[in-house]
Structure 1
Amino acid sequence: MKNKIEVVNYLIFGILTTVVNIASFWLINHIFGMDYRVATTIAWIISVIFAFITNKLYVFNSKTTGIYSLFKELISFLFFRLLSYFLDLSLMIILIEFIKADSLIAKIIANVFVVIFNYFASKFVIFKPSNKQR
């Protein structure tokens, strides 16, 4: 049961993170007219901050409070999110430059792959309960 609640919470907050990412991208790219690569980077930063807080508190219910444990989670989270940023940006370049997809459609497609990658990284590496928490 706990696992189902975790997956549902991840989907809810994953959708919200994706909305934050896509909305930020759209605002920066379409409204402010910035290049899609710059918009992708800024949107990534905004959504990573949102995702760390929501994943820690509401999805994986991480109980770490010590500065060392919190820092370790944050560094691990940022490392895997940086990997997903490169996945996101690479897919955006492939879809826009080579396939000639619309930037917003490309962003949505890229985010499907990013969400899947991020779930497994968060579940099995970043917020994996320590032996003490099990």
Structure 2
Amino acid sequence: MKQLITLSKKLLQSEGILYLIFGGLTTLVYMVTRLLLSAFAIDAGLSATIANIISVLFAFITNDTIVFRQERKGWLYRLGKFVLARLATALIDIALAYLLVTRYPNLIGQFVNNDYHLVNLIEMLFSQVLIILLNYVFSKVFVFKNTAN
């Protein structure tokens, strides 16, 4: 049992593990926010926009304070870079959806009998894995460079 506790503590100090945990929580914040707003009959587009804003802010705060342990100084500058990085990966996500699902669905479709829903699902899974990796790299290299330790 003692070894399990030691391993758990070590894992919770790992930047990569913390990034995945808070990434999952960010997704949960997005989904709960969007569902709550939808329950109040707010337009789907507006609900998605507000949920995105709240989840990006949540992601920034947790990445800044817990994952990458930044000093308080310069947080506004980091927030701007973080938002730009997230916009860049959102554009990549949109471009991949357009290219692999709308424009050239046969690239994936040839492997799944051109089933549109499977093409969309495969592209989405591929895209999300890529986006998670890119968000981590952008955060590590571009946004959160100076740690407070």
TM-score by length of 2: 0.62
Number of residue pairs the alignment of both structures matches: 125
| Partner residue of 1:73 out of 74, 78, 84 | 78
Is it true that 1:47 corresponds to 2:47 in the alignment?
A: no
Structure 1: give runs of 5+ residues left out of the alignment.
Answer: none
Residues 89 and 135 of structure 2 are in contact (CA less than 8 Å); yes or no, is this contact kept in structure 1?
yes
Structure 2: give runs of 5+ residues left out of the alignment.
Answer: 1-9, 106-115
Bigger radius of gyration among the two: 2
Q: Deviations over 1:8-58 (max 9, x none)?
A: 10111122224445x37x859xx98857xx887555434312211111111
Residues 101 and 120 of structure 2 are in contact (CA less than 8 Å); yes or no, is this contact kept in structure 1?
no
Amino acid of the residue matched to residue 58 of structure 1?
Answer: I
Higher RCO (CA-CA < 8 Å; seq separation 6+): 1
- Which aligned segments of 4 or more residues in structure 1 are displaced greater than 4 angstroms? 31-35, 38-43
| Partner residue of 2:26 out of 17, 34, 56 | 17
TM-score by length of 1: 0.68
Mapped partners of 1:129, 1:40: distance in 2: 32
Q: 1:89, CA displacement in angstroms?
A: 1.6
Q: 1:124, CA displacement in angstroms?
A: 1.5
